[in-house]
């Protein structure tokens, strides 16, 4: 029987899949023994996680004096890494919420991993402000609650407190969104499991039966959470930008920071999703579900947000010149030609120049180019946060207090350790739940499978038409 063939839509599921094959392919990574690639990646991530734990314990035991911060540059790698990780966490909510509301089908191959990435990135980000307190056991001071400390109370006018509320809310909604999408797939794994695994998945799938009522409530909840999450995508990094924009320091006190930070967060988040997807599709053999068309669509978003970030950089320079304010002009002159010039030009190359290569369709659809440039973009976004923080603080109003910041091995170990922690958590996740949403992939099979659309479907339809014509000819 022939099927209608759409000439416009892109193929998002390859391999002539049936519903059973989709369940089989996406559930098997949670059931079979881990591959050698997975064991190697998990071992490397575990080693860096151990380094992270050691460096954090060393910092708490010895004190913040083990870091390279000084009286002039008292915010350095810790806050740079905090903002970088929060930015990476934005893409998951964007893919889950905004693309769901706009009914973009290509999100189904990458949304589950992106949502998990959001949660793990926020976990990594939350470590840095806590460690930077020095006395980690007094972290509860940041929460407003009835206490016996007299007039000692949190400052509700401080954007640092707004961070606490925004990030905790963002984390809570992201976990709800992620887990809501997981429930039907956990039920699929439950139905295939035996023994103790079956009991565990039965608990975590909340008695899902796949009835029409369950699906109706699941879709309603997904849309409600998408509606709640959409403003969070814009608000969280806006509030993070207020950490700088509400100050009076030249180079920070600027109204362009909120949209500039949001665009940069989406930019770096999509780049990290690309890095994860390229590794995941290879290690878990998911090339037929995370296709070149998925990668192509993601790279288009990277080009768009990278261009927005580039415009923001140029706008900053123009406004500093146009303002006539000598301190603002010096701050940006120092960024470009000062002691940290290498970080500024590294930022400009990685964030503005390198993404423009994706205008080429051949590069945009190349696995190796995508993997390389996604890493380059995230290096550039780290440089951006470092440039904003370190170069601004290094040169203030008093030349006698000018300073230069160099990270110590402790700070480098904590940062590289959080990267290890991130991949450690992600690798465990790939063993516990399907890394691609089974239910959502099945939902688009009839409109995105290669047996229904694309060159293969057109060829099959043509062959079927020829066979029908031949039979009619034989009858005549």
Q: Assess contact for 437 and 25: CB atoms under 8 A.
A: no
Residues of the chain with pLDDT below 50 are: 1-2, 5-6
**pTM for the full predicted model:** 0.87
Structural tokens at position 380: 């550039």
- Tell me whether residue 445 is in a domain: no
**396, burial (CB in 10 Å: exposed 0-12, middle 13-18, buried 19+):** middle
- Tell me whether residue 459 is in a domain: no
CATH code (residue 257): 1.20.1630.10
Structural tokens at position 476: 């005549």
State the Cα–Cα distance between residues 424 and 44, nearest whole angstrom: 9
Strand pairing partners for 449?
13
Question: What is the number of domains present in the chain?
Answer: 1
The pLDDT value recorded for residue 456 is 65
State the Cα–Cα distance between residues 372 and 376, nearest whole angstrom: 6
| Burial call 91-128: b when 16+ CB within 10 Å, e when fewer | bbbbbbbbbbeeeebbbbbbbbbbbbbbbbbbbbbbbb
**8, burial (CB in 10 Å: exposed 0-12, middle 13-18, buried 19+):** exposed
Q: Which domain holds residue 396?
A: 36-137+155-438
Q: How many CA atoms within 13 Å lie on the side-chain side of 196?
A: 0
The pLDDT value recorded for residue 461 is 60
Q: How many CA atoms within 13 Å lie on the side-chain side of 471?
A: 6
- Tell me whether residue 283 is in a domain: yes
State the Cα–Cα distance between residues 169 and 231, nearest whole angstrom: 12
Structural tokens at position 408: 């110590």
The pLDDT value recorded for residue 397 is 82
Structural tokens at position 445: 């099979």
Planar angle of CA 251, 252, 258, nearest 5 degrees: 125
- Tell me whether residue 15 is in a domain: no
- Tell me whether residue 221 is in a domain: yes
- Tell me whether residue 244 is in a domain: yes
User: H or E element: which one contains 412?
Assistant: helix 409-432
Cα 379 to Cα 68, 265, 270, 383, distances in angstroms:
21, 13, 13, 6
- Tell me whether residue 13 is in a domain: no
Q: Assess contact for 458 and 5: CB atoms under 8 A.
A: yes
- Tell me whether residue 473 is in a domain: no
The pLDDT value recorded for residue 348 is 92
The pLDDT value recorded for residue 417 is 93
Residue 35: count other Cβ atoms within 10 Å of its Cβ.
13
């Amino acid at each position: 029987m022939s099927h209608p063939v759409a000439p416009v839509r892109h193929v998002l599921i390859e391999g002539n899949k049936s519903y059973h094959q989709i369940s089989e392919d996406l559930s098997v990574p949670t059931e079979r023994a881990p591959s050698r690639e997975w064991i190697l990646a998990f071992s490397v991530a575990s080693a860096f996680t151990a380094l992270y734990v050691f460096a954090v314990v060393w910092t708490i035991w010895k004190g913040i004096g083990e870091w390279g911060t000084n009286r002039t540059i008292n915010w350095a790698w810790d806050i740079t890494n905090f903002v970088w990780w929060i930015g990476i966490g934005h893409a998951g909510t964007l893919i889950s919420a905004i693309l769901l509301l706009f009914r973009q089908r290509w999100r189904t191959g990458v949304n589950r991993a992106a949502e998990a990435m959001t949660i793990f990135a926020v976990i990594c980000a939350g470590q840095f402000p806590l460690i930077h307190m020095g006395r980690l056991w007094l972290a509860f001071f940041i929460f407003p609650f009835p206490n016996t400390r007299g007039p000692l109370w949190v400052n509700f006018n401080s954007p640092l407190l707004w961070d606490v509320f925004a990030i905790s809310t963002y984390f809570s909604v992201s976990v709800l969104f992620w887990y809501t999408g997981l429930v039907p797939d956990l039920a699929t794994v439950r139905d295939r499991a035996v023994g103790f695994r079956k009991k565990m998945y039965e608990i975590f799938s909340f008695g899902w039966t796949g009835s029409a009522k369950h699906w109706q409530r699941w879709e309603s909840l997904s849309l409600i959470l998408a509606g709640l999450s959409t403003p969070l995508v814009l608000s969280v990094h806006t509030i993070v930008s207020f950490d700088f924009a509400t100050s009076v320091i030249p180079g920070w006190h600027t109204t362009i920071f909120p949209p500039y930070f949001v665009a940069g967060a989406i930019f770096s988040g999509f780049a990290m999703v690309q890095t994860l997807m390229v590794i995941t599709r290879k290690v878990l053999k998911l090339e037929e579900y995370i296709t070149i068309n998925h990668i192509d669509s993601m790279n288009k978003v990277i080009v768009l947000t990278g261009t927005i970030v580039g415009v923001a950089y140029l706008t900053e320079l123009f406004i500093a010149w146009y303002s006539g304010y000598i301190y603002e002009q010096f701050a940006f002159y120092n960024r470009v030609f000062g002691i940290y010039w290498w970080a500024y030009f590294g930022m400009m190359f990685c964030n503005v120049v390198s993404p423009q290569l994706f205008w080429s369709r051949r590069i945009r659809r190349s696995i190796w180019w995508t993997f390389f440039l996604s890493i380059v973009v995230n290096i550039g976004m780290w440089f951006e946060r470092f440039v904003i923080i370190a170069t601004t603080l290094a040169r203030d109003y008093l030349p006698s207090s000018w300073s230069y910041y160099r990270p110590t091995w402790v700070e480098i170990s904590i940062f590289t350790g959080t990267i290890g922690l991130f991949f450690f958590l992600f690798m465990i996740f790939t063993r516990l739940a399907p890394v691609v949403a089974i239910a959502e992939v099945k939902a688009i099979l009839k409109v995105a499978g290669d047996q229904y659309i694309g060159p293969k479907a057109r060829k099959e339809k043509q062959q079927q038409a020829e066979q029908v014509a031949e039979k009619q000819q034989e009858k005549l």
